[in-house]
Amino acid sequence: MRMKNIKNTELNVSMFCLGGQEWGSRDDKKTSYAMLDQYIEYGGNFLDTANNYAIWNGHGGESETLLGDWLADRSNRSDVVLATKMGGRAKDAPMSSAPEHIRRECERSLKRLRTDYIDLYYFHCDDRTVPLEDQLGAMQKLIEEGKIRHVGASNFKAWRLAEAAVISEFKNYCNFSAVQQRYTYLRPRVDADFGFQKSTNDDLLEYCDERGLQLIAYSPLLRGAYIREDRPLAAQYRHHDSESRMTTLLEIAQELSLTANQVVLAWMIERGVIVISGASKKEQLDESFKGFDIDLSDETLNRLDNAGSE
């Protein structure tokens, strides 16, 4: 398993981060435990959840609760890097990053996760109704109290990350160590709307590269659309550019005797991106882990990069 240090932190993580959206809800305890155990056995150490997973299947908080039980049962909290989020849509919490909500949701997450600290604590979305200075100040207090170690942003635009960096430097507050964003091989339409989710664009990639900010990608495999005919591409990705890139992707997958998913994952980590992916079956984990161990040639990477219309 390839490992990477998140710059300006002591966090050394596997580039395959196991996502837990469905733990404890769609995926029952037996299934969730099996996936977590297999992931650790394969050498992974980076786990991602959120305070509102999975409100679409239950109440929200099921994922953190399941993960907390697993950590307690396996007595391995110190062996994993734990990331969770606050501020997204939840049934028992407002979609807000006001200081009082940040603290309350952190306390709730710590209780559900049955831990004293969170390694990486994200803003799940960009709340522009609350001054960034107040939001970062609240996170700084949690760091000083030892409840969280580092702060991340999710679904932020590059200019907002830059604004936060200026505030952090001026106030001597914590700065973002990572940004978690929608990202995959296919590029969305220019007019694509993902709601509160933000897709990675060239501005964000350039900002992360210049500032040493770690990009962590969610939805890398587009819910199976790369490999399953019964999973059509979402409307946001249906355009000529995707047709061209998909053709190149499938050609390379066939040439290398790999799945399209594996080529996508290999391409992403070659670009230094940490990738979040979930699994509910051992076969899915096996496929993903193989993708993270593939070395693509420079020629192959160039073909993938240059495919599509500009």
Distance between start and end Cα atoms, the chain: 34
Q: In which band, very low, low, confident or very high, does the pLDDT at 25 lie, cut at 50, 70 and 90?
A: confident
Spatial CB neighbours of 80, under 8 Å, sequence gap ≥ 6? 40, 45, 46, 47, 71
Q: Are 129 and 84 in contact (CB under 8 A)?
A: no
Q: Are 220 and 182 in contact (CB under 8 A)?
A: no
Q: The domain spanning residue 171 has which CATH number?
A: 3.20.20.100
CB 310 within 8 A of CB 33: no
- What domain count does the chain have? 1
Flag whether 192 is in a domain: yes
Q: Where residue 230 falls among pLDDT bands split at 50, 70, 90? A: confident
In a domain, 154, yes or no: yes
The whole-chain average pLDDT of the chain stands at 94
Q: What is the tens place of the pLDDT at every residue in 36-59?
A: 999 999 999 999 999 988 776 767
The boundaries of the domain holding residue 23 are: 3-226+268-280
Whether residue 248 is contained in a domain is answered as no
- pLDDT over threshold 80, residue 272: yes
Q: Which range has the worst mean pLDDT, 77-91, 174-188, 234-248?
A: 77-91
125 has pLDDT over 80: yes
Listed range (20-34, 126-140, 175-189) with the worst mean pLDDT: 20-34
Tens-digit pLDDT profile for residues 284-296: 999 998 989 899 9
The Cα–Cα gap between 179 and 164 comes to 12
Beta strand 3-5 with 12-14 is antiparallel
pLDDT, position 310: 59
Distance CA 175, CA 183 (A): 22
CA distance 261 to 226: 6
Please say if the pLDDT value at position 94 is more than 90: no
The reply to whether 243 falls in a domain is: no
* Whole-prediction pTM: 0.95
Among 151, 94, 149, 95, CA closest to 127:
95
Which pLDDT does position 1 carry in this prediction? 84
What was the pLDDT predicted at 55?
73
Q: What percent of the chain has pLDDT over 90?
A: 83
The predicted structure's pLDDT at residue 58: 66
Q: Is residue 102 part of a domain?
A: yes
The backbone torsions φ and ψ at residue 114, rounded to the nearest 5 degrees and listed phi first, read: 55, 50
Residue among 213, 215, 219 nearest 194 (CA): 219
- Asked whether residue 185 is domain-assigned, the answer is yes
Looking up tokens 């995959």 gives 184
Residue 288 lies in a domain: no
Task: With beta carbons less than 8 A apart as the criterion, state whether 67 and 47 touch.
Answer: yes
d(CA 192, CA 55) in angstroms, rounded, equals 24
Give the integer Cα–Cα distance in Å for 244 and 240.
Answer: 6
- Give DSSP secondary structure letters for 69-81: HHHHHHT-GGGSE
Q: Is residue 88 part of a domain?
A: yes
Determine the Cα–Cα distance for residues 162 and 184; give it in Å rounded to an integer: 23
pLDDT of 92 higher than 80: no
d(CA 112, CA 84): 11
